[in-house]
Each structure stands twice: as structure tokens, then as C-alpha cells.
């Protein structure tokens, strides 16, 4: 375990900094930092080397064996990062300061969890070399189709409670994990409940772009580099993750029943408004029926997710 106490810190996408397919309280930290530190973290994929371009071919080749040793999920995660003085019950505040595309390569794959899997069961893997790094565009995805990119990390989180053992990287939970919230772009702050000492933050599953719902089971999957600033908050208590963008407050929930996920995200936003604005419960509930947006984050990760976004501009003090 490496310990650093000066900035900046960098975690490269090399085998010793990678684990594949799970979150666990038993993972050994690859970096130790303090609250307030900034870390630049590379993320990668463990696809077969022939499927990627020269920019990342050597690191992907080195990770093939690591992938075989991983599981139960498929995601290549960088970390975990140990944050000093982070304790169970605290909240980890993560500022996503920058997200950079690393390569022209992207992949989209149909999965058994895709929404139309029973209707369109023939599996496919589509490999694209379409990403314009400077313009942040996916060019000619189909003939005449160019998609603007909003890169984000589909999979980021902290260690779950020790009694849960290895938690599959496919499944979101109170540790976050595979939440696939497309609005967690650069400039967003994510708040996550901490379950173990040091928090043990990991990140991966880079997406160049994704629709809400993630229809066929994957996004435009690609390696990314993120710059994160970490704070330990012992003055906050959360049941589930929350986030804040420059323009919105966001609550995030997941449940096997999508309506229950909606209930949880609404209840969390109501509590946030009670605590921060002093509204009565029924006032906050009414407001959420008048303003804001409920998004289906994803329907394809075993446990579906919903996030509710409330615009800051409706409040006088935010204009």
C-alpha cells in the first residue's frame, strides 16, 4: 500500500492498480490519501488486445490474465483508494473535476440484460474507432450519424459492508457500484455513504456516451481518465448516494421494482428539502410533482435505477 501526502497523485491503468469484477472490504488499497487530496485515475478495459487501438494495446494485453483471475462481474476497476479518517457512517464527497477520453476506440455489446433481449436475442458486439478526442464526438456511428459525447464513469463506488463479501460489479447497491447515471459528468459532486474504514474507492466502466436506460445493456464503452477530489464528511448522514451538478440536485436509488426505486429517490429528495430548506413534508412532495425530472438511469444491471434531478434555478438564492 502506497501512502502519499502531497499532490498531485496518479493511478495508472496497470495490473497492480486494477481489480476485475467486484467490490469488497477485503481489497488491499493501492493508494492512501488524505481528505482534500486530488487523484488522477486512469481506467481501462480487459477486452482481447486485437479489439483495441494502439493507444491502449499494451495495457490491455497486460490485463488479460488479471481478468481471468477476477469476477464475478465483468468490469475493470482501478483502485481502491484509502482515504484517511474515513469511518463507517461518514460520507465520502467526490468531486469529479475532469473526465478525459483516452482513445478512439469504443465498444457496444448486446447483453442478456438488454431490454429487448427476448425480442432481439441474436447477440452482437460492435467495435467502433469513431471517437474524436478533441471535438468530443462519436463520428459516423451509423452512416450520417454523429453523436456528441458526455463521458462519465458507469461504475464507481466504495467498499460494501464486510459481511457482503465480494459484491458483483454488475449490481448497484448502497456502495454505488454499477449505477450508470449518465448525468455524473465532469463538474458533478457525488456523495456516498461509507461502510468500512478508509472508504476504499474504486472506479471504472468508462462510457463515452449513453442513453438513459442503457437499452441493449452497454453504452459506448471506452477507457477514460478522471480527476477526482475527495473529502470525508463526518457532518453528513446518508442512506443512499446523492449528487449535485452545477445546475441540479440529484437523488439516486435502485430497486428490483422500478416503482420502489422511484419512491426511494423521491423520499430522499423530500428529506433533502426538509433538511436544507425547512419545508414541510407535503410541501416538498408537491414541489417534486411540479418541478424536476425523474430519469430511468438504467434497466439492465439486474437491479434497475432511477435518479431525480431538481433544478437549482427554481430557488431564489441559486439564481
pLDDT at res. 319: 61
Determine phi and psi for 58, rounding to 5 degrees. Answer: -60, -40
Choosing from 174, 207, 233, the residue where a domain stops is 233
Q: Is 4 inside a domain boundary?
A: no
- Rounded CA separation 304/179 (Å): 9
Asked whether residue 285 falls in the same domain as residue 174, the answer is: no
Q: What is the pLDDT of residues 172-206, one digit of tens each?
A: 999 999 999 999 999 999 999 999 999 999 999 99
- Rounded CA separation 244/247 (Å): 8
Q: Is 2 inside a domain boundary?
A: no
Whether 132 and 101 have beta carbons less than 8 Å apart is answered as no
pLDDT at res. 46: 82
Q: Is 1 inside a domain boundary?
A: no
Asked whether residue 96 falls in the same domain as residue 173, the answer is: yes
Asked whether residue 204 falls in the same domain as residue 255, the answer is: no
Q: Which parts of the chain have pLDDT scores under 70? A: 1-7, 319
From residue 267, give the alpha-carbon distance in Å to each of 216, 260, 275: 30, 10, 12
Asked whether residue 185 falls in the same domain as residue 306, the answer is: no
pLDDT at res. 5: 47
Asked whether residue 77 falls in the same domain as residue 109, the answer is: yes
Q: Is 137 inside a domain boundary?
A: yes
Asked whether residue 294 falls in the same domain as residue 186, the answer is: no
Asked whether residue 169 falls in the same domain as residue 225, the answer is: yes
Q: Is 56 inside a domain boundary?
A: yes
Name the one residue in this structure whose C-alpha cell is 471506452: 222
- Rounded CA separation 140/143 (Å): 5
pLDDT at res. 3: 45
Range of the domain at 313: 242-318
pLDDT at res. 61: 87
Asked whether residue 250 falls in the same domain as residue 270, the answer is: yes
Asked whether residue 192 falls in the same domain as residue 306, the answer is: no
| Strand-strand pairing, 31-33 and 293-298 | unpaired
CATH code for position 74: 2.60.120.580
Choosing from 233, 258, 278, the residue where a domain stops is 233
3-state secondary structure of 126: strand
Q: How many domains does the chain have?
A: 2
CATH code for position 276: 3.10.28.20
Q: Is 64 inside a domain boundary?
A: yes
Choosing from 177, 201, 233, the residue where a domain stops is 233
Q: Is 191 inside a domain boundary?
A: yes
Asked whether residue 267 falls in the same domain as residue 160, the answer is: no
Q: Distance from first CA to last CA of the chain, Å, rounded?
A: 45
Q: Is 3 inside a domain boundary?
A: no
- Rounded CA separation 114/215 (Å): 6
Asked whether residue 128 falls in the same domain as residue 217, the answer is: yes
Asked whether residue 186 falls in the same domain as residue 41, the answer is: yes
Amino acid at each position: 500500500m502506497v501512502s502519499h501526502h502531497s499532490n498531485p497523485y496518479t493511478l495508472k491503468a496497470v495490473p497492480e492498480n486494477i481489480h476485475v469484477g467486484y467490490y469488497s472490504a477485503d481489497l488491499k488499497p493501492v493508494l492512501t490519501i488524505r481528505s482534500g487530496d486530488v487523484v488522477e485515475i486512469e481506467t481501462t478495459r480487459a477486452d482481447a488486445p486485437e479489439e483495441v487501438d494502439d493507444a491502449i494495446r499494451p495495457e490491455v494485453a497486460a490485463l488479460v490474465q488479471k481478468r481471468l483471475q477476477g469476477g464475478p462481474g465483468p468490469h475493470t476497476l482501478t483502485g481502491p483508494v484509502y482515504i484517511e479518517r474515513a469511518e463507517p457512517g461518514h460520507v465520502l464527497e467526490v468531486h469529479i473535476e475532469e473526465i478525459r477520453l483516452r482513445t478512439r476506440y469504443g465498444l457496444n455489446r448486446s447483453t442478456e440484460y438488454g431490454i429487448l433481449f427476448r425480442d432481439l436475442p441474436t447477440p452482437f458486439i460492435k467495435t467502433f474507432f469513431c471517437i474524436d478526442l478533441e471535438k468530443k464526438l462519436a463520428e459516423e456511428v451509423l452512416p450520417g450519424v454523429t453523436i456528441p459525447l458526455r463521458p462519465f464513469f458507469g461504475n464507481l463506488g466504495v467498499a460494501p459492508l464486510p459481511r457482503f463479501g465480494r459484491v458483483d460489479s454488475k449490481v448497484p447497491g448502497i456502495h454505488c457500484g454499477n449505477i450508470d447515471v449518465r448525468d455524473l459528468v465532469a463538474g458533478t459532486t457525488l456523495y456516498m455513504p461509507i461502510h468500512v474504514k478508509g472508504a476504499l474507492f474504486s472506479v471504472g466502466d468508462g462510457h463515452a456516451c449513453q442513453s438513459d436506460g442503457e437499452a441493449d445493456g452497454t453504452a459506448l464503452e471506452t477507457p477514460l481518465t478522471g480527476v477526482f477530489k475527495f473529502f470525508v464528511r463526518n457532518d453528513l448522514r446518508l442512506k443512499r448516494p446523492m449528487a449535485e451538478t452545477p445546475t441540479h440536485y440529484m437523488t439516486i436509488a435502485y430497486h428490483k421494482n422500478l416503482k420502489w426505486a422511484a419512491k426511494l429517490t423521491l423520499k430522499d429528495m423530500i428529506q433533502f428539502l426538509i433538511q436544507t430548506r425547512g419545508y414541510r413534508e407535503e410541501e416538498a412532495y408537491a414541489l417534486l410533482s411540479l418541478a424536476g425530472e425523474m430519469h430511468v438511469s438504467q434497466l439492465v444491471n439486474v437491479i434497475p435505477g432511477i435518479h431525480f434531478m431538481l433544478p437549482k434555478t427554481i430557488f431564489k438564492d441559486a439564481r
